[in-house]
Structure 1
Amino acid sequence: MTPTKRAFRPMIPGIGGELAELMGRKRLQEVPLTSIHIAPGHNPRGRLNSQVFSDEALADLAESIKEKGVLQPIWLRQDGERHILIAGERRFRAAGLAGLQFIPALLFGEMSGAQALELAIIENAQREELSLVEQTFAGFQMMEHLTGMDQAEVVSYLHRVRKGRQADTFGLSALLRVTYGSDVSVWSQQRSKILALTDLERQAVESGKMPAKSLYPLQKLKDAEARKKLFMQALEGGWSHQQVKATVDALSHQHIQKKADLTKVLNRALPQLKALDGAKALRAQELLAELTTLLDENTA
């Protein structure tokens, strides 16, 4: 079930008032595209997928803009004579492809880069058309910004809060409920797994070819090639979550069994090494040296 969207309410004391004031000063205006500047790495969609802004990816949106215009204003902040994009990069780029010279924009005046980032996260969180993957990355970016932690630290924090080992000092539980209609348990146990999907797996989820849940078991596979091979089989076969999980469990069991069998062989063979001499003893030493090197590389 898709969570009900609600208005975002900043939860960090001292930030909410500033943003509320900035939001109150915004004004709608037609702005020349040539006056708009994009700060590198600002957009969470670009961090997730660099191809999202390609001409091919924007073709349908550009065609829609030709027919209907830009229906939702982009967000800008003032920087001297320039306008710095806060949110709406796809609309801005598509408007250029559509041949527009001006675009409707909400102008928020001058602000810091940190305030601009928080406004971008707010606008991103409020949009209905975000995919599950995009929403997840935007949500974690929001939590990283509000807490000052990196992605891995945020995930660890959410796990500790869920288990009752950490007080929710940043109020992320309330923030997630208000913004996305889901709680810490969902984000620590399910959404965090979306972060660990490969590019191919994310594309399958975003295109609707496979649900994210069906791909979670693949994360148990440490061998990247084995994971990719099994993913392709699951994608082509339309496997369910249970089919993927059962196959991964079977492969893991086989791997453990092979390791156990190898241990038995070595335990039987090692006591017999002292019976070797001459060339056979030298060859045995060479093989043991190779085995030691393999083990060292595996644990490095």
Structure 2
Amino acid sequence: MASETKRGLGKGFEALIPTDFDTSILTPEEERIQKLSISAIKPNPQQPRRHFDELALNELAESIKRHGLLQPVVVTPLGNDNTYVLIAGERRLRAAGKAGLSHLPAIVRTAKELEQLEIALVENVQRVDLSPLEQAASIGRLHDQFNLEYADIAKKLGKAPSTVQNIARLLGLSDEAKKALHESKITEGHARAILAVRDSGAQAELLDLIIKNGWSVRQAERYAVAYKKGIKKTESAQKRVSATTPETEALSKTLKTPVQIHRMAKGGRLEITFTSDSNLKQIVKRLLGK
């Protein structure tokens, strides 16, 4: 299963779509980009966003003046009079106008192509063999390319909106954390705990602690809570969650399973990890010296 997932990621998005899907619409975007007149592009009447931050638009316009428009907009033809309806990129379109551009790069997709691509993306997320990151990539594309709100995506997928948003948030992980999640060194629950810590340095520290100490999701969440409450130093937050001592190392070696110590104001408790009922029985036998 893990090797299949890795091969899928290696092939890119095309590896995630149904085999009978018309892959011609997935031609590399750089080969499909056209220069279109801004005046030929009409705003999408179904665009859910009605308010655009003027300050942010002005900042984007200045960036476009200096560097050009780096990401093309997505449009679909409107009739046969060389006009187009904007599908994605209204902020870029508005900012390009403010920057004084007369033309801008655009990817032209037909309505049929857009419908096919949306269906394929929805089918992707519903596949049971997709990794969390692959699901997040498909949800992100539905949100960004089709201007679909997470609530709308949730309806299409039959999932709760909060579930869809939590999956999409995985795209905010650092490259190191994404790699760890892909390689199953951490779980999706660990990833959410990492994202709860806003500081990138603290996120990297938490990732390291999870992998090195074999922390459970609960332990990672406690660390995140402790950090957000103001215990900024790693040593302080780590001490609140757990600590590796000669005693826990000896127990882990004897029981052949991770053992953690949780310190409290007075005393503490030991946490022994088991992976199955049979594993638990083996641990009990070792504890009893049988």
**Which TM-score applies when normalising by structure 2?**
0.44
Report the structure, 1 or 2, having the larger helix content: 1
**Which TM-score applies when normalising by structure 1?**
0.43
| Larger-gyration structure (1/2) | 1
Greater relative contact order structure (CA < 8 Å, 6+ sep):
1
